[in-house]
Amino acid sequence: MMSVDKWLEKKLGLKGLKYKHNLSKNQLFHEAIANDRGRVKLDGPDTDKKAFATKLGDKGPLVFLTDPTCTGRPVNDTFAVAYPEVEGEIWWKDNLQKFDPEKYEGLLKRVVQHVNERGDTLYVQDVFAGSNPEYAVPYRFVGQYATHAMFAHNMFPKNVQGLKDANDKQWMMLNVQSFRCDPKRDGTLSDRAAIIDFKNKICLVVGRADYCGLVKKTIFTVMNFLLPKQGYLSMHCSGNIGDSNDAAIMFGLSGTGKTTLSADPHRKLISDDETGWTASGVSNLEDGCYAKLIDLDKKAEPVIAAALSMEGTIIENVPPLPNKPYEQTDPQELDLTDGSRTENTRFSYPLSSNPNVADGAQGGHPETIVLLTADAFGVLPPVSILNDKDVMYHFVQGFTAKLAGTEVGLTAPEATFSSCFGAPFMSLRPSVYAKLLAEKMKSNDARCILLNTGWSGGPAGEADRMKIGVTRALLNAGLEGKLHNGNALVRDGVFGLHMPKEVSGVDSKILHPRSTWKDQGAYFKAAENLRGMFQENFKKNDFGSYGIKAVM
């Protein structure tokens, strides 16, 4: 096997550098504290310390502070190189824009020259995207920050056996925070960029783009390009499996309950965010979790709460306590309600932190597909049974609603549509994933429900959110097949959805949202307004041309 320095010289032209290759998490912990430097305040220098120990030292988590302008994915600075070989396949959109091949090649050469001239020490971590050798891809992280190498160690499988043609499949990420792009010269929109080169299997991240999630979501976008070409379905969803080997997957945008509902003490976790569906069943694309921390309820999320104090985990952008440095703070003392740096505070921990994980993070073919939504308008049924046409329609729409107060200027519920429940990461057109989902559901006789974890009896702010106990009861009925096996259904007149008349342990009144509203006129006005949003989004994206039937 070619050495790392020879491989990187051949691949990129990097030479004369020192590489720290496949360090342990403990070693990366100390390297990050000693060497990771950059801006942590808008008016601060590029030499500030970015990584910190807590009171637990290297027996506890690493705290990492990103650049204040990059506390989430820089979607406006995310590109793919528009080489002729791939240009016609990619789903171009605002959060995956075209990058000129000539400009890209010039930029890459300048980045390599920049690193060579600095004589940098680079951290190299070899992992895999995917736990199943049917589709797994060797993924080599190369970057200036030890924290990012440690994140890759946390989030991805390390030893995937039985992979064929591994050298030909290998992807890499070059992550150079110290380089500043010049938009006029380099073809970027700002001084940073995240660029995917599908032709040469390179992910290039440059500039002030040190949010850890880029190491994860960039390669997920790659996997969403690669898997469908093999006839496999890559999905932004969670998955688990019951005692009778009945697997289930749950699609959902942020805030719909995807992670919470998949973490069930009576079912083993397969994945909580990224999943592949092959001829043998479903499996995790990752080996770790990247959870939101803001306002974490430690009693409701005991696994995350416990992992906060574990060795080798990473806490991202949680501010220090007033007048108390991180080094004197127990991780459990951190104020998880503090969003002064960002509302998107995060936490990376290995999948093994969860005591109830399926063997190999894999399972058989799903018997139940769950599409999750959190309807803040309060008009969708808490659960609906979807036929084949319904599934395709709601899958490509990917609806949920933002709540009043969650964003500046947001005073009323706002509809959010994200195709395949993860549009920013879907590098191919939605119809590709929809067709694969339909084929796999049909060949494996899978059933599907639309589960609404949102509001009942009125919109958010005027009514209460569905109780978690009710949602769990409806979900369990769906997983057990009780909603499909001869259960009496009633059709909603506005959305055309089919709802059960009764579910054991659930008040039948709430199963039809109209009956929970005191003002019937207000209900119909709100429902018809939301239906219009569905219809408008369907038309705007021309989903009909993909063969998707309009069901409302």
Contact 499, 492 (CB under 8 A): yes
Q: Can you give the pTM of this predicted structure?
A: 0.94
Q: Which long-range contacts (CB under 8 A, 24 or more apart) does 257-264 make?
A: 257/372, 257/374, 257/453, 257/471, 258/372, 259/289, 259/291, 260/300, 260/301, 260/468, 261/370, 261/372, 261/453, 261/471, 261/472, 261/475, 262/238, 263/301, 263/303, 263/354, 263/356, 264/240
Which single residue is written with the structure tokens 């920013």?
Answer: 424
Environment class of 531 (CB within 10 Å of its CB; exposed 0-12, middle 13-18, buried 19+): middle
For the chain, the residue count is 552
Q: Strands 171-176, 202-206: parallel, antiparallel or unpaired by DSSP?
A: parallel
21 vs 355: which has the higher pLDDT: 21
Share of the chain above pLDDT 90, in %: 88
DSSP E strands, 221-345: 233-235, 237-241, 247-251, 268-271, 275-278, 281-284, 288-292, 314-316
Among residues 416, 96, 72, 476, the alpha carbon closest in space to that of 255 is found at 416
| Residue 545 CB neighbours (<10 A) | 8
Question: Which residues neighbour 387 within 8 Å (Cβ) at sequence distance 6 or greater?
Answer: 498
Q: What is the pLDDT of residue 403?
A: 60
pLDDT, tens digit, 9 for 90 and up, residues 460-480:
889 999 998 999 999 999 999
Label residue 488 by pLDDT band (50, 70, 90). confident
Domains identified in the chain and CATH numbers = 4-24+73-231 (3.40.449.10), 237-272+365-546 (3.90.228.20)
pLDDT, tens digit, 9 for 90 and up, residues 399-426:
999 764 444 344 567 899 999 999 999 9
| Residue 309 CB neighbours (<10 A) | 16
Among residues 44, 407, 12, 336, the alpha carbon closest in space to that of 208 is found at 44
| Residue 168 CB neighbours (<10 A) | 8
Label residue 264 by pLDDT band (50, 70, 90). confident
Q: How far is CA 176 from CA 124, 194, 195, in A?
A: 12, 10, 12
Q: Strands 193-197, 78-81: parallel, antiparallel or unpaired by DSSP?
A: parallel
DSSP E strands, 298-340: 314-316
Q: What is the pLDDT of residue 363?
A: 96
Label residue 259 by pLDDT band (50, 70, 90). confident
pLDDT, tens digit, 9 for 90 and up, residues 141-192:
999 999 999 999 999 999 999 998 888 999 999 999 999 999 999 999 999 9
Query: What residues are annotated to the active site?
Result: 73, 217, 236, 254, 258-259, 273, 346
Helix (H) or strand (E) holding 464: strand 464-465
Taking residues 90-102, report their average pLDDT.
96
Q: What is the pLDDT of residue 85?
A: 96
pLDDT, tens digit, 9 for 90 and up, residues 366-404:
999 999 999 999 999 999 999 999 999 999 999 999 764
Among residues 288, 287, 283, 301, the alpha carbon closest in space to that of 247 is found at 283
